[in-house]
Amino acid sequence: MIIAMRSDAAEDQIEHVCDRIREFGYTPHVIRGEERVVIGAIGRGDNKDHLQTLRSAPGVAEVIRILQPYKLVSRELKPQKSIIRAGDLEIGGDEFVVMAGPCSVETRDQLMETAHAVKRAGARVLRGGAYKPRTSPYDFQGLEEEGLKLLAEARQQTGLKIVTEVVTAEDVDLVAEYADILQVGARNMQNFALLKRLGNARRPVLLKRGMSSTVKELLLSAEYIASHGNDQIILCERGIRTFETATRNTLDLAAVPLLREMSHLPIVVDPSHGTGRRSLVCPASKAALVIGADGLILEVHPRPEEAWSDGPQSLTLSGFDEIMGELRRYAHLEARRIA
Amino acid sequence: MIIAMRSDAAEDQIEHVCDRIREFGYTPHVIRGEERVVIGAIGRGDNKDHLQTLRSAPGVAEVIRILQPYKLVSRELKPQKSIIRAGDLEIGGDEFVVMAGPCSVETRDQLMETAHAVKRAGARVLRGGAYKPRTSPYDFQGLEEEGLKLLAEARQQTGLKIVTEVVTAEDVDLVAEYADILQVGARNMQNFALLKRLGNARRPVLLKRGMSSTVKELLLSAEYIASHGNDQIILCERGIRTFETATRNTLDLAAVPLLREMSHLPIVVDPSHGTGRRSLVCPASKAALVIGADGLILEVHPRPEEAWSDGPQSLTLSGFDEIMGELRRYAHLEARRIA
Amino acid sequence: MIIAMRSDAAEDQIEHVCDRIREFGYTPHVIRGEERVVIGAIGRGDNKDHLQTLRSAPGVAEVIRILQPYKLVSRELKPQKSIIRAGDLEIGGDEFVVMAGPCSVETRDQLMETAHAVKRAGARVLRGGAYKPRTSPYDFQGLEEEGLKLLAEARQQTGLKIVTEVVTAEDVDLVAEYADILQVGARNMQNFALLKRLGNARRPVLLKRGMSSTVKELLLSAEYIASHGNDQIILCERGIRTFETATRNTLDLAAVPLLREMSHLPIVVDPSHGTGRRSLVCPASKAALVIGADGLILEVHPRPEEAWSDGPQSLTLSGFDEIMGELRRYAHLEARRIA
Amino acid sequence: MIIAMRSDAAEDQIEHVCDRIREFGYTPHVIRGEERVVIGAIGRGDNKDHLQTLRSAPGVAEVIRILQPYKLVSRELKPQKSIIRAGDLEIGGDEFVVMAGPCSVETRDQLMETAHAVKRAGARVLRGGAYKPRTSPYDFQGLEEEGLKLLAEARQQTGLKIVTEVVTAEDVDLVAEYADILQVGARNMQNFALLKRLGNARRPVLLKRGMSSTVKELLLSAEYIASHGNDQIILCERGIRTFETATRNTLDLAAVPLLREMSHLPIVVDPSHGTGRRSLVCPASKAALVIGADGLILEVHPRPEEAWSDGPQSLTLSGFDEIMGELRRYAHLEARRIA
């Protein structure tokens, strides 16, 4: 249920409505839009009918039932697109934001070379895994805190923001010390302990769709983070698992405009995992821009054939440069800026 | 195995190579490119090593083994993109070809109104089903020949080409009398009796990907048609069946550049079936253009809420007009013309 | 809508109800059960409410709306299991019927050796493909009518019934001359032209589930055959296509009791295609029996390593013998006979 | 690589081989079988060729390369089935072990009533969720430690062992205090931080297959636990996500004999989640027994229509009783005991 306040509603009227919501057994979430304030009444209170009585409370314009199981992240609750901020960077606004970097942080040289190159080409965020969720225990598991330190060093050298994956609730505080954006990988999209902890983090979260998750489940996972207190969430389509084996995953690009209808959160696309083949990353990136994504996250490596993970889908530095050039040709048609 | 002739090879040298191929138990397929002639030796002959001896035959430049199970439709055999012609219309060339019309031919009024409108908006081909493969026997099964006649009348009135589905081998000749392009629906992609018969048809074939078919299987189905004598084939990505239920199918747009690498055949995209939701058709159409498709096939109906089939995914006439406008904004960046 | 007649309803009362049904624009289907007659009113008549008026017609016990889109094959219409007969063989009754034989009819020797062996081991039906729907046009396509003649010869020698695939509507009459049961393969489950023609055939049809078809779609395909006049249908679960690649398909054994709840038709299981691995066929066969299937269809070859198709999933003659032994150990617990 | 010792190998010879393995950069895992000792050399050492030199070390019978990416859990390493012990209960031995109980621990009454009933009917382990991974943050999340205490109380009253889910690495120690077997749910199958922590737990782990995980990925997740020190693992097939919506999941019963070929670990089946429909649980349970499972895990609730979660798939107490009766009829044919 959401309570839309009149545009001239006073603070004490808002406060009064929140008090009543609590009395009825729900939790109020106040969303301050540009034109007016909307209050979500979330939870499993036992007085659903009583909420309707708020219709007559002073300052209330309307009381609307949200039919979808996701509430705080829904477009019903907040019709305008949200802009997520990481320092001076805005995701979900006019800028089409490209995040790029290696699958794994491997060495200082590899990371710095990549960071400088993607910065020059127009990336705004450096990606790189320090904690790697790998299918086999015998595969490289990441440099862990050492990797985080290298990422922080790359930020200092280049001014890029840092996005990196956190794989367990226990690591959230540590990773948040170094990263600007905390990434939840596909395998952890329904790691609810992690999602709850991220609800307390003071960093934006980039939430990847699980490999067999519906868009509705993705939004419910975002709702976990939001309902635990952190509404700074970026959704990420990264391909789903299907019977097709010619590509690593099936990139569900139509999910982008679909999520746009369902949610106010920004949406980025990961064509590297979404296709798993270097030669498909450029066309898929262009399509992602044109279909309405707010940005991309791309794997780039100075020497993909030597990469410790995901070599076949990693772009070379010059390949990334070419993609940025291509994207710039299309961006203005979408009324988007690219750095 | 393919035998590439020298650019100065004489006709009798080509004939000689074909004779030897037959002796070895294979069938020769002569492909006359702009620069030179290439001869495919297809089938299950028992003299694979003997084929290599053709290397020393007069006029032969090289003998190359094709590793893929699809041969005639492969890019290995013919590196240049094929252009498929329906009268004066070229598919796979510079023009981005839009096919549009109702799911089913319902009435003369419905069809003519739609035909004139899509023609005005820039479509080059009119789609419309006269034979409808419906999941339930109690659903509308199409007007059959009466529908074909209405399509032919619409062609006469508008100059649009006609694409319509043929659902069984027995109907191929009849449908080919009326249609310019014969469509094979997703459910019939592995109806091999139909594919073989289409190998004898003198019309181009638009072959839709089966709802659970891999791209490799799509190419092998195209190979059926080609190996039976008809190489005028247009591939069509129309979405695959996955666990996701928010969209009717999952549109596999990355399959477009992937098929481009694998095959020389033109590729069109069907965002109507691919998404099943009217609001997603426009963004998906733009993405299809930008990711490299040669055209689109779209469902359009004057009054979708009254459509006898596929209403929820059908565009209105004005909705189609808007999409064409959008596509024109992007086409030049792809070096494509749109009518 | 179904009209259940009273147990003492007279023939002319039945005829009267049928006439009224026709007047209302529906087609009557008379089902004569052991206790009473039930009449289905099928189709898209325009007088749904009028049907209710039949409630007061003489001899009518009840008028019941069938909610499912499949009507004639539904358990709502006919609560008792159907028994399908091929000569003296009953499928769906007390006997657990095993159909066995090679994927393809290859040679007289191969077929006769297999036929005698499976007969000795307890099979009641010989399977073998004369028309093979193969993914590649360069794969063996079957011996066609020559294969049918060999199957008929094997029947004469062994007394086994014959089940073999028909791949196109045009072949139905020819195949029906030789075969006792007509098989529709997974790729043709939605070849509606074929299904309609089978509605006129005087042979039982074994209808395989499509590789990406829901159980509801399977029943609607059966409904095509039934609504065109042939209610002698055997359903077949043969595995569906999923992301798992360790098995050829994912055998959906729970579909057996589910189909049992939904339909009165007999159900057999094909563990050969369902798993694609010889070593899994025996355990899957036992499970199919115990989960409630009415029979099995199994691939058996004297020398699987030399089979022209499906070698890896074909049982040896002795392997088949062992499975029959295993099945006999369990059959009595299911109150089933095995030959 | 595994080093099989001669049956008369002495302890110091075993020790010597382990030392050399460490020198070469690998970790030795000693498996003491009934006939002889086998040593796994696991990891990414840089002296693969040197391992071969162990062939000539005293006491060594053979050095065998394990080709599969899973090593410790593979049947190549240990051909005999493993038996996992929880107190006096053996899983993977002659007994067919049934685990039963509610989806969620709700109240003391609900749990004790269920526990006594399933104990009487023949269950050996009580299941019940205290920490619930729910798709929506607004759904019941479990009683947490309070639920664990109730489970422990039920154990005391009934003598049943307890299996319950642990959803995050941080909770492993707490849950291990109360539970006899720690369950990893489908959504956490690739929560590698959790798996690593379970490698240190002194409790057996019941590892559920992820809803879109291959059997190979399931074994690699088991390998995580084993390679971190805990080889007490029970695999659980619980259905995979497919396009079929008539059942909650598609229960992949053929995965049971397949996993048996690949791994020495015991395998149980969860037909409740695997089908999602109460009426299918009994036939699927019988099939699981016959196809070779070592046990079942079943949802049972005194009043399923009032269950706080998973009502539609929960058995009633009497329904569970009937299933146990059915299972006993079949168990002796599999040479299995049921309590």
**pLDDT tens-digit readout, D230-251:** 999 999 999 999 999 999 999 9
Phi, psi of A101 (to 5 degrees): 155, 180
Round to whole Å and give the CA distance between B218 and B209.
6
Confidence grade of residue D48 (pLDDT, cut at 50, 70, 90): low
Is the Cβ of C133 closer than 8 Å to some Cβ of chain B?
yes
Range B288-296 average pLDDT: 98
Confidence grade of residue C309 (pLDDT, cut at 50, 70, 90): confident
C51 pLDDT higher than 80: no
Q: Which two tokens stand for residue B66?
A: 């094709």
The predicted pLDDT at position C31 comes to: 80
Residues 6+ apart with CB under 8 A from C11: none
Confidence grade of residue D139 (pLDDT, cut at 50, 70, 90): confident
Which range, of C40-49, C50-59, C329-338, averages the lowest pLDDT? C40-49
CA D176 to chain centre: 15
**pLDDT tens-digit readout, C321-333:** 999 999 999 999 9
What are the DSSP calls for C55-100, one per residue?
A: GGSTTEEEEE---SS--TTBTTT--SPP-EEETTEEESSSB-EEEE
Reported residue count of chain B is 339
Inter-CA distances, D337 with C182, D124, D232, Å: 44, 12, 22
Q: Which two tokens stand for residue B277?
A: 């939701």
Looking up tokens 């007069």 gives B58
Confidence grade of residue B77 (pLDDT, cut at 50, 70, 90): confident
Q: Which two tokens stand for residue D197?
A: 């922590």
Q: Which two tokens stand for residue B286?
A: 């733009």
**pLDDT tens-digit readout, A117-147:** 999 999 999 999 999 999 988 888 899 999 9
The predicted pLDDT at position C69 comes to: 87
The predicted pLDDT at position C46 comes to: 60
Residue D181: which of D158, D157, D198, D159 has the closest Cα?
A: D198
Residue D70: which of D268, D297, D270, D231 has the closest Cα?
A: D231
Q: What is the pTM of this model?
A: 0.92
Phi, psi of A123 (to 5 degrees): -65, 150
The ipTM (two decimal places) reads 0.91
Confidence grade of residue D40 (pLDDT, cut at 50, 70, 90): confident
Inter-CA distances, A179 with A14, C74, D186, Å: 35, 59, 29
**pLDDT tens-digit readout, D260-308:** 999 999 999 999 999 999 999 999 999 999 999 999 999 999 999 888 8
Q: Which two tokens stand for residue D31?
A: 């498996």
The residue of chain C with its CA nearest to that of B41 is C138
**pLDDT tens-digit readout, A187-229:** 999 999 999 999 999 999 999 999 999 999 999 999 999 988 8
Confidence grade of residue D47 (pLDDT, cut at 50, 70, 90): low
The predicted pLDDT at position C47 comes to: 62
The predicted pLDDT at position A147 comes to: 97
For the beta carbon of residue A244, count every other beta carbon within 10 angstroms.
23
The predicted pLDDT at position D322 comes to: 97
The predicted pLDDT at position A48 comes to: 65
Residue B313: which of B271, B274, B278, B270 has the closest Cα?
A: B278
CA dihedral sign, ordered D106, D110, D116, D118: negative
Identify any residues that bridge with A91 across adjacent strands, giving them in sequence order: A84
Round to whole Å and give the CA distance between A256 and A283.
16
SS3 D140: coil
What are the DSSP calls for D149-162, one per residue?
A: HHHHHHHHHH--EE
Which H or E run contains B31?
strand B27-32
Q: Which chain D positions have a beta carbon within 8 Å of B245's beta carbon?
A: 245
**pLDDT tens-digit readout, D5-21:** 998 999 999 999 999 98
Q: Which two tokens stand for residue D193?
A: 């931080």
D55 pLDDT higher than 90: no
The residue of chain D with its CA nearest to that of C283 is D291
Looking up tokens 């450096």 gives A126
List chains touching B (3+ CB pairs under 8 A): A, C, D
Round to whole Å and give the CA distance between A305 and A327.
25
**pLDDT tens-digit readout, B134-167:** 998 888 889 999 999 999 999 999 999 999 999 9
Q: Which chain C positions have a beta carbon within 8 Å of D279's beta carbon?
A: 257, 261
Round to whole Å and give the CA distance between C156 and C147.
14
Please give the order of strands across the beta sheet that includes D60-64.
Answer: D27-32, D37-42, D2-5, D60-64
CA distance D211 to chain C (A): 11
A6 pLDDT higher than 70: yes
Is the Cβ of B138 closer than 8 Å to some Cβ of chain D?
no
Inter-CA distances, A7 with A10, A11, A14, A37, A60, Å: 9, 11, 11, 7, 9
The predicted pLDDT at position B287 comes to: 98
Confidence grade of residue D181 (pLDDT, cut at 50, 70, 90): very high
Buried b (16+ CB within 10 A) or exposed e, B63-76: beebebbbbbbbbb
Q: Which two tokens stand for residue A238?
A: 């990264």
Is the Cβ of C202 closer than 8 Å to some Cβ of chain B?
no
SS3 A2: strand
Task: Provide the mean pLDDT of chain D.
Answer: 93
CA distance B73 to chain A (A): 17
Label residue B32 left, alpha or beta by phi (over 0 means left) and psi (-120 to 50 means alpha): beta
The predicted pLDDT at position C7 comes to: 86
Cβ <8 Å between B136 and C194: no
A33 pLDDT higher than 80: no
Identify any residues that bridge with D184 across adjacent strands, giving them in sequence order: D207
Please give the order of strands across the beta sheet that includes C27-32.
Answer: C27-32, C37-42, C2-5, C60-64
SS3 C152: helix
Q: Which chain D positions have a beta carbon within 8 Å of B242's beta carbon?
A: 243
- A·B CB contacts under 8 A: 117
> Looking at this protein, which amino acid is placed at residue C63?
V
DSSP state of B306: G
Round to whole Å and give the CA distance between A88 and C239.
54
Q: Which two tokens stand for residue A259?
A: 């999520």
Which range, of C65-69, C192-196, D135-139, averages the lowest pLDDT? C65-69
